[in-house]
Amino acid sequence: MTETFMALVPQFGVYLVGMIVFLSALAIPLPGSMLVMVGGGFVASGDMELVPVLAAAFLGVVLGDQTAYTLARQGRTAVLERMRRSDKRARQIDRAEALIRRRGMLAVFLSRTVLSPAGPYVSYVSGAGGFGRLGFSMAAIPGAVIWSAFYVGIGYRFADHLSEIASLIGNALGLITAATILVLMGLWLIRGLRDTAATEIRPEGAAATEGKHD
């Protein structure tokens, strides 16, 4: 299917890129990032212009994010429950909810950069959870800028090796995701140990203070 969309890019140009990115931001399984890289490759060959490709990628992400957020905000838990009927999507939603619990609105930014596969689900969870649109947008839009520039840049720089780069990026994102989870778990464990140590120390300090007063 990816090859079919790649073949259609010269015919439909930035409109196809923007539409596929928009739909992929709604958690529809389409090769949004790959199409943006293809657009960058056509920029390198002189067949497409840089600014329209960047604009199509950016607008596709932003409009997709806002649409997912709005749908979930209006439907609340009904939207998430419908999505949970798929085991794969249920796992993604659980991860998005855990990420938001730990990082709040920073999770929105992370899901548009180093954790981009989680992006659509974080948008839905943010809307269903009642997060304010302004806060959501202030985190999502800078992430969309970075995401768009990154994938167009990769396509531009490695125009002759897009298939190989797409595979490497997929593996890299998996490694980044795993590393991020490990770091967050480590921070959580360290904080838990510190809280435990503080709890054990306080009674001794309190006893010493009482002894001085006596």
pLDDT digits 0-9 by tens, 2-25: 566 566 666 778 898 999 999 999
| Measured distance CA(162)–CA(175) in Å, rounded | 20
- Record the tokens describing residue 162, joined without a space: 């897009």
- φ and ψ at residue 177, rounded to 5 degrees: -60, -45
121-16-19-86 Cα dihedral, nearest 10 degrees: -40
pLDDT in single tens digits along all 214 residues of the chain: 556 656 666 677 889 899 999 999 998 888 888 888 888 888 888 888 999 999 999 999 999 999 999 999 988 778 888 888 888 888 888 888 888 888 877 888 888 877 777 888 999 999 888 788 998 999 999 999 999 999 898 888 876 665 555 554 444 444 444 444 445 455 555 666 666 655 555 544 444 444 444 5
Q: Please give the DSSP secondary-structure letter assigned to residue 131.
A: -
| Measured distance CA(39)–CA(44) in Å, rounded | 9
156 in Cβ contact with 43 (< 8 Å): yes
For the full predicted model, state whether its pTM sits above 0.85. Answer: no
Helix 50-75 with 119-128: angle, nearest 10 deg: 40
Residue 108 makes CB contacts below 8 A (sequence gap 6+) with 100, 122, 123, 126, 136, 139, 140, 143
116 in Cβ contact with 147 (< 8 Å): yes
- Residues 119-144: pLDDT tens digits? 889 999 998 887 889 989 999 999 99
| Measured distance CA(64)–CA(148) in Å, rounded | 13
Helix 50-75 with 133-157: angle, nearest 10 deg: 150
What residue spans of 46-118 are helical by DSSP H? 50-75, 77-83, 87-103, 106-110
